[in-house]
Amino acid sequence: MENNLNDKQIQILEVAEKLFAEKGFDGTSIRDISKIANINVAMISYYFGSKDLLLESLIKHKTIGLKEQLLVLIAENLEPVAKINKLIELYINRINCNRGIYRIMHFELTSKKNESILKYFTELKKANLKSVELIIKEGQAKGIFRKDIIIPLITPTIIGTFFHFQMNKDFYEEILDLKTDTQYDNFIKTDLTKHIQQTIKALLVYEN
Amino acid sequence: MENNLNDKQIQILEVAEKLFAEKGFDGTSIRDISKIANINVAMISYYFGSKDLLLESLIKHKTIGLKEQLLVLIAENLEPVAKINKLIELYINRINCNRGIYRIMHFELTSKKNESILKYFTELKKANLKSVELIIKEGQAKGIFRKDIIIPLITPTIIGTFFHFQMNKDFYEEILDLKTDTQYDNFIKTDLTKHIQQTIKALLVYEN
DNA sequence: GTTTAAATTAAACAGTTGTTTAATTTTGTC
DNA sequence: GACAAAATTAAACAACTGTTTAATTTAAAC
């Protein structure tokens, strides 16, 4: 919760995020980090206490603000479908801008059983789920969305689709002929986002 | 491709899969493996050459047969929707039975740039995509499926949804009140599978 | 300018890592 | 039972791991 991070600490976190995302938490040594960040190894222990606590700081540093973003969205006066679409955009954009950390969150946190950070995550996920629930129930009350839906399974479809795509970046770049990073980013922002929105809409509104 | 693995080698792979899935590739030492598998450390190098080659053997050992399974499915005489549903079931079942290895595939293989194994995977994915393509185009030809769909994005939705769910097992167990492993497995086999099938069907058949 | 705290450093620490060695045991073949 | 190949072992290897130490430099406060 504390934000007392100086520039040097943030710089270290930046490097750590990049390396953790590239090579995994265990695959990255604090000497790797210190070398690229151009600092002494001891500085990491000095600032963060340990490698584990460094990860904890990193995650907290990168996830603050998400809850607020969701609350703003919910308060907006939008049609249910438009609201869901905006939620999807928000998720994709958020994850896309913080590729590194979200990847770490998925991969490392299932094995690492750091009690403190695990609780933090559960709370984050619960808040997310509550937001999605609110939006969908609003749509259901208005008679626009189906009612035979398991709401907690909506998020896996949104985030899971995006994640699987990101996870297989090289493959989809080849298959979809996305030659540059800009093309790839564009595809995410237009086609992939639309695909997910279309999917969720079809699922929610579909009437047989 | 070679199947000349004796019982002891397979036993080692079994243990390795379990540990890699639990603690990651880098998080698992060959001593961890040898201890649990009740063998000498040197046996791993003796049988597989190195830790990297052990992973390679493991992956190849666990993915043989997938391509054939898909070909059988395609040849079946089924309605397009039924075929897609069966494809989804096949994916989920396959991944569910090999949780460990699929998790490794996603997390480790993006960082490890083992040329040989990466090529193997690309080929596997291409074969998968081709199968999906065949089924969907069949449905399109019959006028049942929409034609404005980016087919390569179907797989991410199927597998991504499932994966994200698996990745957050503890969370969903709590949220959905799944108290035992049997309940959890049951939920996957019924509700989650149905959710994904419903999602894909809505996406493919939906007419606005 | 002196004093005090913070920042930074190189070196050392004790474990662990993947791998190799060389010796020994087990197994199969004749 | 003798021989050769395969399997198994304990020990050693050098490199790397996260962390701590104690000394030194820098910055801030007075």
- DSSP per-residue string spanning chain A: ------HHHHHHHHHHHHHHHHH-TTT--HHHHHHHHTS-HHHHHHHHSSHHHHHHHHHHHHHTTHHHHHHHHHHS---HHHHHHHHHHHHHHHHHHTHHHHHHHHHHHHH---HHHHHHHHHHHHHHHHHHHHHHHHHHHTT-S-SS--GGGHHHHHHHHHHHHHHTHHHHHHHTT--SHHHHHHHIIIIIHHHHHHHHHHHHH---
Question: Cβ distance A199 to A157 under 8 Å?
Answer: yes
State whether residue B146 is helix, strand or coil: coil
Residue B42 CA to nucleotide C13 C1', Å?
28
Query: Mutate which of A25, A122, A155, A161 to test chain B, going by most B C-beta atoms within 10 A?
Result: A161
State whether residue B154 is helix, strand or coil: helix
Distance CA A76, CA B73 (A): 47
Residue with the two structure tokens 């049997």 = B182
CA-based torsion, B177, B98, B104, B50: positive or negative:
positive
Residue B39 CA to nucleotide D13 C1', Å?
21
Nucleotide nearest A27, CA–C1', reads D17
**CA B49: distance to chain centroid?**
26
Question: Cβ distance A124 to A159 under 8 Å?
Answer: no
Which CATH number do you get for residue A113? 1.10.357
Query: Residue A23's closest chain B neighbor by CA?
Result: B111
User: Is B105 domain-assigned?
Assistant: yes
The answer to whether some atom of strand D lies closer than 7 Å to the beta carbon of A168 is no
pLDDT confidence of residue A2: 47
CA angle A32, B28, A125 (to 5 degrees): 80
- Using CB atoms within 10 Å of the CB of residue A103, give its burial: 0 to 12 exposed, 13 to 18 middle, 19+ buried: buried
| Closest in A110, A156, A164 to B165, CB measured | A156
Cross-chain Cβ contact A125/B152 below 8 Å: no
Q: What is the value of pTM for the model shown?
A: 0.88
User: Is B28 domain-assigned?
Assistant: no
Distance CA A37, CA A31 (A): 10
- pLDDT, chain A, mean: 89
Cross-chain Cβ contact B192/A153 below 8 Å: yes
Q: Which residue has the higher pLDDT, A141 or A3?
A: A141
pLDDT confidence of residue B66: 84
Cross-chain Cβ contact A191/B22 below 8 Å: no
Rounded mean pLDDT of B147-173? 93
Closest CA to A203 of B205, B187, B189, B152: B205
pLDDT confidence of residue B180: 95
Question: Cβ distance B16 to B28 under 8 Å?
Answer: yes
Q: Which two tokens stand for residue A138?
A: 């609003």
Question: Cβ distance A101 to A21 under 8 Å?
Answer: yes
User: Is A169 domain-assigned?
Assistant: yes
Q: Is the pLDDT of residue B111 over 70?
A: no
The rounded percent of chain A whose pLDDT value lies above 90 is 65
Query: Residue B21's closest chain A neighbor by CA?
Result: A111
Residue B52 CA to nucleotide C13 C1', Å?
30
Chain B window 70-99: which residues touch A at a Cβ cutoff of 8 Å?
A: none
User: Is A22 domain-assigned?
Assistant: no
A155 has a chain B CB within 8 A of its CB: yes
Closest CA to B70 of B126, B113, B122: B126
Residue B191 Cα, gap to closest chain A Cα (Å): 8
pLDDT confidence of residue A6: 81
Distance CA B127, CA B53 (A): 24
Cross-chain Cβ contact B26/A22 below 8 Å: no
The CA distances from residue B11 to B34, B85, B113, B188, in Å, are 10, 34, 26, 28
User: Is B149 domain-assigned?
Assistant: yes
Q: Is the pLDDT of residue A51 over 90?
A: yes
Question: Cβ distance A66 to A39 under 8 Å?
Answer: no
Q: Is the pLDDT of residue B208 over 50?
A: no
Rounded mean pLDDT of A73-85? 93
Q: Is the pLDDT of residue B24 over 90?
A: no
The rounded percent of chain B whose pLDDT value lies above 70 is 95
pLDDT confidence of residue A167: 87
> What are the tens digits of pLDDT across the range A169-194?
889 999 999 999 999 999 999 999 99
Q: Is the pLDDT of residue A1 over 60?
A: no
pLDDT confidence of residue B113: 62
pLDDT confidence of residue B88: 95
Contacts of strand C, CB cut-off 7 Å? A 6, 8, 39-43, 46; B 28-32, 41-42, 44-46, 49-52
User: Is A174 domain-assigned?
Assistant: yes
Residue A99 belongs to domain spanning: 62-204
Q: Which two tokens stand for residue A58?
A: 């990193």
Number of domains in chain A: 1
Question: Cβ distance B121 to B106 under 8 Å?
Answer: no
User: Is B94 domain-assigned?
Assistant: yes
pLDDT confidence of residue A111: 65
Q: Is the pLDDT of residue A46 over 90?
A: yes
| Closest in A107, A111, A161 to B157, CB measured | A161
CA-based torsion, A133, A138, A144, A148: positive or negative:
positive
Rounded mean pLDDT of B176-187? 95
Q: Which residue has the higher pLDDT, B163 or B3?
A: B163
pLDDT confidence of residue B140: 94
Chain B window 98-117: which residues touch A at a Cβ cutoff of 8 Å?
A: 106-108, 110-111
Distance CA A27, CA B28 (A): 11
Distance CA A11, CA B106 (A): 28
pLDDT confidence of residue A114: 72
User: Is B134 domain-assigned?
Assistant: yes
Query: Mutate which of A195, A197, A201 to test chain B, going by most B C-beta atoms within 10 A?
Result: A195
Question: Cβ distance B58 to B16 under 8 Å?
Answer: yes
Nucleotide nearest A47, CA–C1', reads C7
The CA distances from residue A105 to A56, B42, B162, B206, in Å, are 10, 34, 17, 34
- pLDDT, chain B, mean: 89
pLDDT confidence of residue B6: 81
> What are the tens digits of pLDDT across the range B52-95?
999 999 988 988 888 888 889 999 999 999 999 999 999 999 88
